[in-house]
Copies of this chain bind each other. A is one copy, B any other.
Amino acid sequence: MATKKELKKKSVSTEPYKGVRDFYPEDMSVQKYIFSVWKKAVESFGYVEYTASPLEPAELYEAKSGEEIANEQSYVFTDRGGRRVTIRPEMTPSVARMIAKRRHDIALPSRWYSIVNVFRYERPQRGRLREHYQLNVDMFGVGTYEADVETIALISNIMTEFGAQDKDFVIKINDRKIIEALFDKLKVPVNKRKDVTKIVDKKNKISESIFSDAMTDLLGDKAGDVIDALSEPKKLIMLLGEGHELVQELVQKIETLDKRGITNIEFTPSLMRGFDYYTGTIFEVNDTNPENPRSLFGGGRYDELLGIFGVDHVPATGFGMGDVTTKDFLETHGLLPKYRSTTDVCICKADVHVDDLAEELASELRRDGVNVAVDITGRKIAAQIKTADKQGVPYIICIGEKELALGVFVLKHLETGKETPLKKEELAQVIKKLEI
């Protein structure tokens, strides 16, 4: 550790903490766009916003999350009062805690969403981020298939709002209960089931031979049947029988979605999703781009999670959608809008005599809903214009003696160079209408 004297001698680094991002205005603009589409879509389905602190008691994650997250991948520290604190690695335990706390005051069903940063202590060599943002969408209080259907319809709606077409993505669905039924049918020992799902969850990340070896190690001569059923929906359905209650519910979900125009659904028995708390339907959105068939995001039903707080049974279903994968998807498919500043116009001053006029004009435009920066540097007008242009401000108005005398202002669109002479009272409307 450097002493204070040593620190003063050398400069402080301008780098952020390892694995987190700085959001400069151009980066923030992308975030704001993604967040605004998320907000619009989920609020249109009746979801209301909540949030919680990123600091949570460590015990919250130790009862039910996937163990890797609770133990290895989380930031955990002890505060000076001896409390063990976790910097949240995911939002589901927090929202479950909040619902459980007011279980008897909250009118269910609740549709809740939040957009928050979550933190994972990733090993440096993996090059993954230690902080990312996530939309979290959860419905509490509806245990029937309608909630799963609505959640998947909402996911489809979010993707559509981003400009994605049905061919760009596929929504894979599965049901943890169907997998349990399969295990029952094939007499997979209960104490091996968790390990089987863990290996299946990693299937796409390991080679086929490693996968089948691992399955055989666990299941012996049953491995082949299990692999077959998990790889081939038809085989799985045949095994359970078409009349099986769970199969019929699955068919009903897919048919209801189809009736609502959502056809890019794929029953995928090998879909497992990481978290231990899922209890029923699970789903995952995948990019269909053949060069990069990534998993984008997903979620599922977790009817038992609130039990860890000792409250009555509350069925729940939800999903999380990250900013990084969303941004990658939008970039790949050419769906990110071009940057423009939230500042609509910059008033440049050719002269100190126009100070009052510039401020007066700025105030009037602001009152009419225009975002105005006044250049107060006193630099040459060319330098003022260059700054506005570099900052992505779409319009400028230059004010000098002439404008002071005549009361007519030239509105210049920087990208096209187009100049429009306007009276003061016409400016706001034109600036807002021409919006690019």
A165 at interface by CB-CB < 8 Å: no
User: Which residues of the partner chain B approach A406 to less than 8 Å between Cβ atoms?
Assistant: none
Binds B, one of A240-248, A328-336, A367-375, A407-415: A367-375
- Least CB distance from A73 to B in Å reads 11
A107 and chain B: residue at smallest CB distance: B390
User: Which residues of the partner chain B approach A38 to less than 8 Å between Cβ atoms?
Assistant: none
Whether A11 lies near B308 (C-beta < 8 A) is yes
**Which of chain A's residues 1-30 have a Cβ closer than 8 Å to chain B?**
1-2, 4, 7-8, 11-18, 20-25, 27-29
User: Count of chain A residues with Cβ under 8 Å from any Cβ of B?
Assistant: 104
- Least CB distance from A387 to B in Å reads 4
Partner of A24, one of B50, B57, B386: B50
User: Which residues of the partner chain B approach A210 to less than 8 Å between Cβ atoms?
Assistant: none
Whether A59 lies near B12 (C-beta < 8 A) is yes
Partner of A43, one of B55, B101, B109, B342: B342
Binds B, one of A140-148, A166-174, A215-223, A274-282: A140-148
Whether B11 lies near A309 (C-beta < 8 A) is yes
If the complex has contacts A121-B79, A130-B55, A141-B377, are A14 and B50 also in contact, measured as CB distance less than 8 A?
no
Whether A52 lies near B22 (C-beta < 8 A) is yes
User: Which residues of the partner chain B approach A49 to less than 8 Å between Cβ atoms?
Assistant: 25, 28-29, 32, 342
Partner of A373, one of B45, B77, B144, B377: B45
- Least CB distance from A15 to B in Å reads 7
Give Cα A371–Cα B46 distance, bound, in whole angstroms. 6
- Least CB distance from A7 to B in Å reads 6
If the complex has contacts A20-B53, A309-B12, A376-B150, are A343 and B7 also in contact, measured as CB distance less than 8 A?
no
A310 at interface by CB-CB < 8 Å: yes
A124 at interface by CB-CB < 8 Å: yes
Copies in the complex: 2
Whether B260 lies near A359 (C-beta < 8 A) is yes
User: Which residues of the partner chain B approach A24 to less than 8 Å between Cβ atoms?
Assistant: 50, 98, 102
Give Cα A49–Cα B112 distance, bound, in whole angstroms. 26
Whether A48 lies near B12 (C-beta < 8 A) is no
Whether B83 lies near A17 (C-beta < 8 A) is yes
A186 at interface by CB-CB < 8 Å: no
Question: Could you name 10 residue pairs across A and B whose Cβ atoms are closer than 8 Å?
Answer: A2-B59, A12-B310, A14-B101, A14-B309, A20-B55, A43-B371, A44-B369, A48-B391, A81-B124, A144-B378
**Taking beta carbons and an 8 Å cutoff, which residues of A are in contact with B?**
1-2, 4, 7-8, 11-18, 20-25, 27-29, 31-32, 43-57, 59-60, 62-63, 75, 77, 79-81, 83-85, 87, 97-98, 100-102, 107-112, 117, 119, 121, 124, 130-131, 141-142, 144, 146-147, 150, 157, 259-260, 308-310, 341-343, 346, 356, 359, 363, 366, 369-378, 386-387, 390-391, 393
What are the 5 closest A-B residue pairs judged by CB atoms, nearest first? A46-B373, A11-B310, A20-B53, A14-B101, A107-B390
